[in-house]
Amino acid sequence: MAAGGHGADRRGSRTAGFINNPEVRGVLFQIAFLLVLCWLAWDIFDNTVRNLQKANIASGFGFLDRTAGFGIVQTLIDYNEAHSYGRALLVGLLNTLLVAGLGILLASALGFFVGVARLSSNWLVARIATAFIEIIRNIPLLLQLFFWYFAVLRSVPGLREKWTFLGIFHINIGGLHIPRPVFAEGATLVGAALLIGILAALIVARWGRKRLDATGKAPPSGWIGLALIVGLPLVVFFLTGRPISVDMPVFNDQGPLLRRGFQAGSGLTVIPEFFGLLLALSIYTAAYIAEIVRAGILAVNHGQTEAAHSLGLRQNQTLRYVIVPQAMRVIIPPLTNQYLNLTKNSSLAVAVAYPDLVSVGGTVLNQTGQAVEMVSIWMIFYLGLSLLTSYVMNIWNRRVALVER
């Protein structure tokens, strides 16, 4: 009996030892936590579905196939009222991507420029840059958006008039009217030629760098690349019988007032809502990027500049080859944040009638009444966009990060 009791004790202490093992415990607690989290998520989902049913509110994603029935002012893909809600949302998503993508490019260029300008030894330039940053950063984006939109609207001629630049750019309150390229059969070959040209130019540039490293002489790879990118598609363009033509915007200044102005369906129109939003987003984000760039440059030890100067590098060479490459390590992580912010801020578009994902989604929501589904679509799209941006920026960050040997 004593022996049996002893054995039981030992077994008990072995189990206790198993539970007391910190590693085992850690895993157990994590599993338990995960289960609770899953249960909570399921419960919220299940509860929502049941309550929607109880309140007689339609649910499910079936509405995406139904006819949308409303028009959208800017569509990058073919769309009309007879298309589905799903297609309308895709149009909105592409509009978001367009303004966010261009906004990121513009904001980066302007931000780098202002950031460097703020560090300029020229008193006036530095002060102007400082004033720009302080003013822009301290005014809410929505107000700036209204300012730029209505500034754009009120400073251009009305629908029946126009300003013309270089013969092909026409501006009025309806937007920027430019010739639209029309692609006929064979246009894909020209596109392919352009792609091949770009690839070839990249290979030439690499070869040029190798030559520079090996011999100290730089071959004119820039010019060769340009010739490849422009020349190759041009040759193919003429060989295939000019498959790309342009459709000019038609301006009518005769007849009844409503008929005058640019005719719908002719040329390409870039709407003022797009310009207003793009300007506001780029300028607002540029102010933040400028500060990040300044911080990045200041983070590079002044000794580096002195060393570069003592090697005989000129000021702009020092900036380009010594300071900026090192500053990028500091700049990129916070820059990612700004890119994400810009993309998310683009959802203010609806305030100035730019048909982005939120604007189009809002109309879909109102017509179908399916708020839960629509809000989840919004969340998934923005989450996806943000994760994608982070992913790309992380790859870039890894490339410029300090490699320790």
Partner 1 sequence: MKKIIASVIAGAAMLAGASAAGAGTLEDVKAKGFVQCGVNPSLLGFGSEDQDGTWKGLDIDFCRALAAAIFNDPTKVKYTRLNAKERFTSLQSGDIDVLSRNTTWTMSRDSSLGLMFAGVIYYDGQGFMVKKSLGVSSALELSGAKVCTQTGTTTELNLADYFRSHNMPYEVVAFEKNEEVLQAYEAGRCDAYTTDASGLYAERLKLQNPDDHMILPEIISKEPLGPAVRQGDDKWFTVVKWTLFALLNAEELGLTKANIDEKKTSDNPEIKRFVGVEGDFGTAIGLTNDWAYNIVKDVGNYGEIFDANVGPSSKLGIARGLNNLWSKGGIQYAPPIR
Burial 46-72 (b: 16+ CB within 10 A, else e): eeeeeebeeeeeeeeeebbeeebeeeb
- How far apart, in whole angstroms, are the C-alpha atoms of residue 8 and residue 4? 6
CB-nearer residue toward partner 1: 13 or 263:
263
CB-nearer residue toward partner 1: 171 or 323:
171
Minimum separation from the CB atom of position 150 to partner 1 (A): 6
Q: Identity (one letter) of the amino acid at 338?
A: Q
Q: Could you say whether residue 254 binds partner 1 (CB under 8 A)? A: no
- How far apart, in whole angstroms, are the C-alpha atoms of residue 78 and residue 48? 36
Q: Could you say whether residue 55 binds partner 1 (CB under 8 A)? A: yes
User: In this chain, which of 359, 377, 381, 385 binds partner 1, going by CB under 8 A?
Assistant: 359
Q: Could you say whether residue 249 binds partner 1 (CB under 8 A)? A: no
Q: Could you say whether residue 295 binds partner 1 (CB under 8 A)? A: no
Q: Could you say whether residue 36 binds partner 1 (CB under 8 A)? A: no
Backbone angles phi, psi at 264, to 5 degrees: -60, 140
Q: Could you say whether residue 95 binds partner 1 (CB under 8 A)? A: no
Q: Could you say whether residue 56 binds partner 1 (CB under 8 A)? A: yes
Q: Could you say whether residue 350 binds partner 1 (CB under 8 A)? A: yes
Minimum separation from the CB atom of position 44 to partner 1 (A): 6
Give the number of other CB atoms < 10 A from CB of residue 198: 14
Q: What are 118's two structure tokens? A: 């703020």
Minimum separation from the CB atom of position 176 to partner 1 (A): 14
User: In this chain, which of 20, 21, 48, 337 binds partner 1, going by CB under 8 A?
Assistant: 48
Minimum separation from the CB atom of position 101 to partner 1 (A): 22
Q: Could you say whether residue 154 binds partner 1 (CB under 8 A)? A: yes
C-beta separation of 339 from 106 below 8 A: no
Q: Could you say whether residue 257 binds partner 1 (CB under 8 A)? A: yes
Q: Identity (one letter) of the amino acid at 350?
A: V
User: In this chain, which of 10, 25, 33, 81 binds partner 1, going by CB under 8 A?
Assistant: 81
Q: Could you say whether residue 353 binds partner 1 (CB under 8 A)? A: yes
- Residue of 290, 269, 281, 345 lying closest to 147 (CA atoms): 281
DSSP assignment of 298-312, as one string? HTS-HHHHHHHHHTT
Q: What is the dihedral of CA 32, 38, 43, 45, to 10 degrees?
A: 170
Minimum separation from the CB atom of position 98 to partner 1 (A): 17
Q: How many residues bind partner 1 (CB under 8 A)?
A: 54
Q: Could you say whether residue 263 binds partner 1 (CB under 8 A)? A: yes
Minimum separation from the CB atom of position 104 to partner 1 (A): 22
User: In this chain, which of 42, 70, 183, 396 binds partner 1, going by CB under 8 A?
Assistant: 70
Q: Could you say whether residue 341 binds partner 1 (CB under 8 A)? A: no
C-beta separation of 92 from 356 below 8 A: yes
- How far apart, in whole angstroms, are the C-alpha atoms of residue 59 and residue 52? 7
Q: Could you say whether residue 58 binds partner 1 (CB under 8 A)? A: yes
Q: Could you say whether residue 142 binds partner 1 (CB under 8 A)? A: no
CA distances from residue 225 to 202, 205, 233, 255, 276 in whole angstroms, order as listed: 7, 7, 13, 51, 35
Q: Could you say whether residue 355 binds partner 1 (CB under 8 A)? A: yes
* Exposed / middle / buried, residue 202 (Cβ in 10 Å: 0-12, 13-18, 19+): middle
Q: What is the DSSP letter of 67?
A: B
- How far apart, in whole angstroms, are the C-alpha atoms of residue 271 and residue 310? 52
Q: Which residues bind partner 1 (CB under 8 A)?
A: 44, 47-48, 50-52, 54-58, 69-73, 81, 146, 150, 153-154, 158-159, 173-174, 256-259, 263-265, 271-273, 347, 350-353, 355, 358-359, 362-363, 365-372, 375
